Amino acid sequence: MSIREDIEKREHEFLSPYASFADRSKGRRLEEAKCDIRSDYQRDRDRIIHSKSFRRLKHKTQVYIAPIGDHFRTRLTHTLEVAQIARTIARALRLNEDLTEAIALGHDMGHTPFGHSGERALDEISPYGFRHNENSLRVVDLLENKKKGFGLNLTYEVRDGILHHSGDELASTLEGKIIKYSDRIAYINHDIDDSIRAGNLCEDDIPSDITDLLGTSASERIDFLVKDLIANSIDQDDISMSSEVEKMMLKLRQFMFDNVYLDERAKIQGEKITMLISSLYDYYKKHPKDMGDHLNIYDKDEDIDRIVTDYIAGMTDLFATQKFKEIYLPTSYRRV
């Protein structure tokens, strides 16, 4: 028996009957030989971590663009916090931690530069529209071109969880459903923490009915929400919170939209970001060769709007800003 087979055997001995077992995966789009050591879900996790798109998350905005200070979240630190919360929940429910972690680590790989402001801008500009969950799947399926046409060639369950971590449709596995909750638990609370650090909020601004139930700090609220989710999901073929707690979490989320995500300062930033992304989009449509090696991913008849949308979505904040400066801002000139 190989190490992988022993891992798969122990999954059946320990995990909940509602868990997703690695040896029962619906498989990959391109069939490949099994690893002797790692399960399929472990391999997916490793492929995601070693990808270029994952590394670029460290220079993509979570909420605050170019913050002054080292302790603000980035899209990468957000991803790690989601993975930590999700694994805690999966372990408590005896679900598959490897699958849960793989989905969590890959869920935002398709996010634009400049956070949701960048996403909204690209959605307005591109004729293809833009949703970061759909683009995250496109990244792992194609743009991370480990195998041409199959990207990272991840399992069905990981791909399904990445696609359905956002939006109205639900993942087909309980592990995927955990990510939807973990993502929300993480970003609501760490965005509050960052907003307090930025001086845009204080804990007293949060309505008292929310803090009375969920807690008066990010750590208290995360702990409370995670425990409620576990208590309501244990030994169940579903992932859910109690109705009162979920209602209050959604109220807190709306508070953040009203006071941080869509406030006047965010709108001003959004206008600047739309101008920047629109300018880059127009430039690269007219000068496709300047996208360099990115063009090698595609067949010759690929639509230019599709190529430019992918290229800009993959940019970090730093790269997008630098390219805008190079293209549109004057530079010093000296006669040789």
Which region among 91-100, 149-158, 247-256 has the lowest average model confidence (pLDDT)? Answer: 149-158
Cα-based angle 262, 268, 269 (whole degrees, multiple of 5): 85
Instruction: Please report which confidence band the pLDDT of residue 148 belongs to, taking 50, 70 and 90 as the band edges.
Output: low
Look at residue 155 and give its three-state secondary structure: strand
Kindly report, residue by residue over 119-132, the tens digit of the pLDDT.
Answer: 999 999 999 999 99
Instruction: Please report which confidence band the pLDDT of residue 114 belongs to, taking 50, 70 and 90 as the band edges.
Output: very high
pTM given for the model = 0.96
What mean pLDDT do residues 175-190 have? 98
Q: What is the structure's pLDDT at 36? A: 97
Q: What is the structure's pLDDT at 331? A: 76
Q: What is the structure's pLDDT at 301? A: 85
* Residues facing 61 on adjacent strands: 74
Q: Using the predicted structure, report yes or no on whether residue 146 has a pLDDT greater than 70.
A: no
Within 15-111, residue ranges assigned H as helices are: 40-49, 52-56, 75-92, 97-106
> In sequence order, which residues have a C-beta less than 8 Å from that of residue 302 and are 6 or more positions away?
none
Instruction: Please report which confidence band the pLDDT of residue 145 belongs to, taking 50, 70 and 90 as the band edges.
Output: confident
* In contact, 106 and 70? CB cutoff 8 Å: no
> In sequence order, which residues have a C-beta less than 8 Å from that of residue 321 and are 6 or more positions away?
276
Q: What is the structure's pLDDT at 320? A: 97
Kindly report, residue by residue over 198-249, the tens digit of the pLDDT.
Answer: 899 999 999 999 999 999 999 999 999 999 999 999 999 999 999 999 999 9
In degrees rounded to 5, what are phi and psi of residue 241? -100, 165
Q: What is the structure's pLDDT at 150? A: 84
Kindly report, residue by residue over 260-288, the tens digit of the pLDDT.
Answer: 998 888 889 999 999 999 999 999 999 99
Within 97-217, residue ranges assigned H as helices are: 97-106, 115-125, 132-138, 156-163, 174-198, 208-214
Kindly report, residue by residue over 35-59, the tens digit of the pLDDT.
Answer: 999 999 999 999 999 999 999 999 9
Environment class of 48 (CB within 10 Å of its CB; exposed 0-12, middle 13-18, buried 19+): buried
Instruction: Please report which confidence band the pLDDT of residue 70 belongs to, taking 50, 70 and 90 as the band edges.
Output: confident
Q: How far is CA 83 from CA 165, 183, 187, 247, in A?
A: 13, 9, 12, 23
Q: Tokens representing 244?
A: 């009162």
Question: What residue type is 329 in one-letter code?
Answer: L
* Residues facing 147 on adjacent strands: 151
Higher pLDDT, 207 or 330: 207
Instruction: Please report which confidence band the pLDDT of residue 336 belongs to, taking 50, 70 and 90 as the band edges.
Output: low
The secondary structure of 53-65 as a DSSP string is: HHHHGGGSBSSSS
Helix (H) or strand (E) holding 273, with range, is helix 264-286
Q: Look-up: residue for tokens 């929310």?
A: 210
